[in-house]
Structure 1
Amino acid sequence: MRNVPTLYEWAGDMKTFEALFGRFYDKVLKDDLLGEVFRHMSPQHVEHVAHFVAEVFGGPKLYSGQDGGSHAEMIGRHIGKMLTEEKRQRWVYLLLQTADEVGLKSDPEFRSAFVGYIEWGTRLAVINSQLIENPLKESEPMPKWGWGETGGPYVGTE
């Protein structure tokens, strides 16, 4: 049986995620469509997103530990933002463009898992941005993303 690395291990290390999201948010702030959405982000936003995605990919628990965050808190950051599909697509486009620029691993298996997570997460962000209350309890676990599972059909909170 071979030892399969986590997506985090395969991608590199925390510096990989910090470089990716640092350059990405530099672009976002200059973007005509997304700049306004992120203009007032906290100085820790980039680091928190890097820590969140790294943790979801099997990295150290910096977001839920050192940053004091949770999955419910991340969802809560999107409540009421009224994100559109156009903004979601631009966000995804700029992140994938940045991934190529910073040299994020580009093998088909990793990129498939990476894009799968980005699509899943951004679509949830749009759904949650239309709500006025957070559908998650603070006790909900952090998501975990591997090499290809999506968890089955989407079931919203009814």
Structure 2
Amino acid sequence: MTGSPDPTTPSILAWAGGLPALRRLTTVFYARVPHDPVLAPVFAGMDADHPEHVALWLAEVFGGPADYTAHRGGHPHMARQHLGRGITEQQRRRWVDLLLDAADEVGLPTDPEFRAVFVYYLEWGTRMALVYSGDDPPPIDAADVPIWQWGQTPPWQPDRRDESD
């Protein structure tokens, strides 16, 4: 994703609290997954380093260093992790819901601008995971990790009511 953010505006990653905040998010989230009846089957046998890998992925997506690409193989590697998993819409939605609960628990920002961009990526990313996990996935190519930036959602405007009412 592209955009032209003001260079003085912090990246989404910085706004979220940096990699430490995303590590807290993925640690809390993935600690719950094995106990969730909807998601446990998807993550059965999950590698102990999975929360760290997802934190690095999210950090790169939200404007941080390309550490996931450098150490894990970037977008092609991530896409391959979903092949043949047969993720359902119920599992996709549950993943988003539990991740948002974890975001609240670990104190990620709740301002409308951050949450709009955060949820926008979660929706897009999980729908791509659904596509890659299905019966006829697209080719896994050398696409770059998508980078989410501010300005991809309309800016929040407070409700302006006519004071004459």
User: TM over 0.5: same fold?
Assistant: yes
Give the total of aligned pairs: 148
Alignment of 1:115-130 (within 5 A): 115-130=119-134
1:73 corresponds to = 77
Q: Aligned residues: percent identity?
A: 45
Question: What do you get for the CA RMSD once the two structures are aligned?
Answer: 1.6
Instruction: Name which structure has the greater RCO, CA cutoff 8 Å, separation 6+.
Output: 2
> Equivalents in 2 of 1:76, 1:108: separation in Å?
33
Task: Name structure 2 gaps, 5 residues minimum.
Answer: 1-5, 154-165
Runs of 4 or more off by more than 2 Å in structure 1? 131-134
| 2:125 paired with 1:147 | no
Change (3 A) 1:146 1:70: same
Larger radius of gyration: 2
1:142 partner letter: V
* Cα distance, 1:69 vs structure 2: 2.2
1:21 corresponds to = 26
- SS in structure 2 of the partner of residue 35 of structure 1: coil
1:30 partner letter: H
Change (3 A) 1:80 1:24: same
- SS in structure 1 of the partner of residue 116 of structure 2: helix
| 2:60 paired with 1:83 | no
1:101-146 CA-to-partner distances (Å, cap 9, x unmatched) read 1000110000000000000000111111004666121x32111111
1:116 partner letter: Y
1:118 partner letter: L
> Equivalents in 2 of 1:120, 1:133: separation in Å?
16
1:153 corresponds to = none
TM-score, normalised relative to structure 1: 0.87
